[in-house]
Amino acid sequence: MAKRKLSRRQKWRIEKIQQERLARAERKAERDTAGMHLGPADHGRVVTHFGQQVIVENDRQERFRCHFRANLAQLVVGDRVIYQLPEDRSNDDGLGVITAMEPRHSVLERPDPYGKLKPVAANVDLMVITVAPLPAPSSILIDRYLVAAELSGIEPLLLLNKADLLDADDRDIIDELEALYRTLGYGFLEASATRADGLADLRKALAGKTCVLVGQSGVGKSSIINALLPDADLEVGDISSTSGLGQHTTVTARLFHLPEGGDLIDSPGIREFGLWHISEQQLLSGYRELAELATRCRFRNCSHHQEPGCALQAAADEGLIAGERLDNFYAIAASLEEEDRRERYQSD
Ligand SMILES: Nc1nc2c(ncn2[C@@H]2O[C@H](COP(=O)(O)OP(=O)(O)OP(=O)(O)O)[C@@H](O)[C@H]2O)c(=O)[nH]1
Ligand SMILES: [Mg+2]
Ligand SMILES: [Zn+2]
């Protein structure tokens, strides 16, 4: 994702335009549904979301396109809602109205390029952090997702796709990554969407849960869903031959049902999962082994950088924890501070 380079003034202007657009859409929805006689309320789940409309599916697997009232919290795929259809469905465009959102048991959120927190998916049980030999994986990108998972109470699972592409060098890198995260207690699976390898274990891990596939563009999230659910028929895009990166093929999140029970949500790839909205203390609590150690630092307000008696530094020096994780923690913490400083500077 692009780093936030906009000034406060630009952000304010963009936000104002967005608010005006939202108000216009709300007025249009009101006009469209004014005088419309609505049928009984029913429960449904948001399975696709675009602009000011969503597709809602009810318990009978019937799907309806619906407006939503702009005073509702921002709806996202996975949300459970109450909707009503027009009483006379022959006489209009058949669009329903969402009148309420049910409480979420979890929500994955990230800041958009303007720094505003946006939901990615709601009521998710499992976050499948997908990586591949190409685009190359990195532990800091993985850590950002793991922190987001820990903080939102969603169980994470690491999935290496494109196992068919692994050469001897890649194999060593992947084995190291796998060892690093398995030691911390995270699940790690390997699969190949093109060869349909590793899918049985993956199915077992996903069964009965609402799962979201996240990761960089081009790692093969949509391809994995197509391999598991051929009817999904999702569009997949080539990796750019010049940059080696994906081309952001998936643009909206969509929810599919698994034959084993449970659901699978495809999400658009992002370059880096932003964590600007969290504090350094929250970041630390997203690093499970570091959070545990931090209670043993000599000083209660230890910043875990150069202080004597820092349990994190000591554990890294003694090889009890992976130095790579501590380095990633420092790097992400520094990026939070940088953002914070920039904000303060601009507000002066
Ligand atoms: N060799 C190999 N290529 C794969 C595999 N899975 C996906 N690909 C290729 O990787 C490219 C990207 O696949 P997508 O499924 O579009 O990736 P994505 O993660 O959904 O990307 P975005 O929608 O942009 O976020 C395509 O060219 C796929 O054919 C695999 O298991 N092996
Ligand atoms: Mg995709
Ligand atoms: Zn410390």
Nearest ligand to the CA atom of 239: 1
Residues 6+ away with beta carbon under 8 Å from 82: 41, 42, 43, 44, 98, 99, 100, 101, 102
The number of residues making up the chain comes to 348
Ligand nearest to the CA of 195: 1
The answer, yes or no, to whether residue 347 has pLDDT greater than 60, is no
Given 101, 117, 134, which residue is the final one in a domain? Answer: 101
Q: What pLDDT was estimated at residue 33? A: 60
Q: What is the pLDDT of residues 163-185, one digit of tens each?
A: 999 999 899 999 999 999 999 99
Give the domain-ending residue among 217, 238, 266: 266
Mean pLDDT across 100-112:
92
Q: Is 23 part of any domain?
A: no
Strand partners, 41: 84
pLDDT at 91 over 70: no
How many domains would you assign to the chain? 3
Quick: pLDDT tens for 279-317: 999 999 999 999 999 999 999 999 898 889 999 999 999
Q: How far is the CA of 299 from the centre of ligand 3 (A)?
A: 7
Q: What is the CA(347)–ligand 3 centre distance, in A?
A: 31
Query: Which of 266, 300, 327 is the C-terminal boundary of a domain?
Result: 266
Q: To the nearest whole number, what is the mean pLDDT of the chain?
A: 89
Domain extent, residue 316, equals 280-347
Contacts of residue 325, Cβ cutoff 8 Å, sequence gap at least 6: 139, 143, 180, 184, 287, 289, 290
**Whether the Cβ atoms of residue 123 and residue 78 lie closer than 8 Å to each other:** yes
Q: Whose CA is nearest to atom 8 of ligand 1?
A: 220
Is 5 within a domain?
Answer: no
Q: How far is the CA of 109 from the centre of ligand 1 (A)?
A: 24
Burial-class residue 42 by CB neighbours within 10 Å (0-12, 13-18, 19+): middle
What's the CATH code of the domain at 72?
A: 2.40.50.140
Q: For atom 24 of ligand 1, which residue has the closest CA?
A: 248
- CATH number of the domain residue 203 falls in: 3.40.50.300
- pLDDT at residue 129 greater than cutoff 60: yes
Cα Rg, the chain, nearest whole Å: 22
Which residue, by CA, sits nearest to atom 3 of ligand 1?
Answer: 162
Same domain, 125 and 240: yes
pLDDT tens per residue across span 22-65: 677 666 666 656 666 788 899 999 999 987 899 999 999 999 99
- Among protein residues, the one whose CA lies closest to atom 2 of ligand 1: 162
User: Poorest-confidence range of 268-272, 322-326, 336-340, 343-347?
Assistant: 343-347
Domain match, 127 and 177 both: yes
Are 125 and 249 members of one domain?
yes
Q: What is the dihedral of CA 78, 82, 88, 89, to 10 degrees?
A: 0
User: Is the distance from the beta carbon of residue 216 to the nearest atom of ligand 1 less than 6 Å?
Assistant: no
Residues 54-89: tens digit of each pLDDT: 999 999 999 999 988 777 778 999 999 999 998 876
- CA–CA distance from 211 to each of 122, 273, 290 (Å)? 10, 17, 27
Q: Percentage helix, strand, coil, to 5, in the chain?
A: 35, 25, 40
Q: How large is the average pLDDT for residues 219-240? A: 95
